[in-house]
Amino acid sequence: MNDLETRLRRAFEAGTAHVQTPPEPDWTHRTRRAYPILATMAAIAATVAILLTVNHIWGGSSDTDPTFAPGTVAVSPVRPATTPTFAIRQEIKSPPTIVDVATGRVLGNVETPKGYNALYSESLTAAADNRTFFFSVRKKLNSPRYMVARVHVDERGRPDGRAVLVATAPMRLNGLSASPDATKLAMSVTNDQSETLTIWDLSTGGHKTWDVPPSAAPNGVESVVWTPGGSLLWASGRSAGKLDPESAPGPLHADRTFPNVGDLTDSELLPNGDRIAVLHEEGNVRFIRISSRPGASMRVLDHWVPEGDDEGGLIVSGGRYVLYLRHGQMVRMDLTTHTRTPSPLGGPDNKMAGYAW
């Protein structure tokens, strides 16, 4: 630019300095009005997507209780009972009851969380104090959403209030096991594609899920039990493994194999790693114990000639006591002394009942 052009521009700017600049048209007016709506719609869509994803993973539905917040229910570690005396009993289409194992007498009726129905016996468990019981519930009988409720009982076996929700369970909850101190739950779960093992920390509301590959667990997880140190033992067929709840989630790995003694479908793990089983053979039933030590032989704890289909059905308490059906009647055995005591929990009146103690 030469000197003449420079002088002309400065003269023009000086002569027009008093003229106000016209306002700029609001080109973004429509955009600014639409933006909050679009943002809200996007946020709603994202929220729905997240909820659908979570519900898909956990077998969810619109029946999720908005008043339930994981980790907000008071959780205190409990101490093991010397001798278990109470059991939670669940019958079809009936609320759970607390019964005396020695007499069969009903000590109290469990009130399920408001608006929820208790499910049948596949998901009952008791903590080591024999005062804290867990059971699965659904908001509606045809709802796919499972929840887990907890109830405490006093020294006389009477519930200290209505049961409370403590965890959300995936669909098809096949098994439930409480840690000895009642602060964690292990859930065995199946869906159409796979099986998983989930551990809930009731204190924080957090959970971890491990895959159950057929290579490690050919029959799925058939039995789980907590060790006194807080690890989880699991068994499937002749395979077994140990899971550290603090480890990173991933596929389960079997680390030992039980000897081939027969069909172990009707079996349970003990906290020390041993396994007890009822073997149904031609004209004979044997109740056995298989040691966790490599090379150890099995031990026959009881045997009898069956009189029908009501045989077996092991229900373990704390690793020392077990209930099982013998000739259609429940028997209680002390696994340390091998003493057998008849229990009134069996019989025709309780044929369709499930127990945990």
Cα distances (Å, whole numbers) of residue 261 to 94, 138, 311: 38, 39, 18
What pLDDT is stored for residue 50 in this prediction? 37
Sorted by where each begins, the domain ranges of the chain are 55-61+77-356
* Distance in angstroms (rounded) separating the CA atoms of residues 319 and 276: 10
pLDDT of residue 267 exceeding 60, the answer is yes
| Model pLDDT for residues 233-263, shown as the tens digit of each residue | 999 888 999 999 999 999 999 998 888 888 8
Q: What is the reported pTM?
A: 0.78
Check if the beta carbon of residue 262 is closer than 8 Å to that of residue 275. no
Nearest alpha-carbon partner for 244 in 156, 175, 184: 184
Q: Which is more confidently placed, 237 or 9?
A: 237
Written as one string, the DSSP assignment of 120-168 is -GGGEEE-TTSSEEEEEEESSTT-S-EEEEEEEB-TTS-BSSS-EEEEE
Q: Which helix (H) or strand (E) holds 50?
A: helix 29-57
Q: Which residues pair with 200 in a beta bridge?
A: 185, 207
What pLDDT is stored for residue 24 in this prediction? 45
Out of 15-19, 296-300, 343-347, the most confident range is 296-300
Q: Which is more confidently placed, 302 or 309?
A: 302
CB atoms within 10 A of CB 98: 24
| Model pLDDT for residues 311-349, shown as the tens digit of each residue | 778 888 878 899 998 888 889 999 999 999 998 886 555
CATH T-level topology, domain 55-61+77-356: Neuraminidase (2.120.10)
* Distance in angstroms (rounded) separating the CA atoms of residues 84 and 141: 32
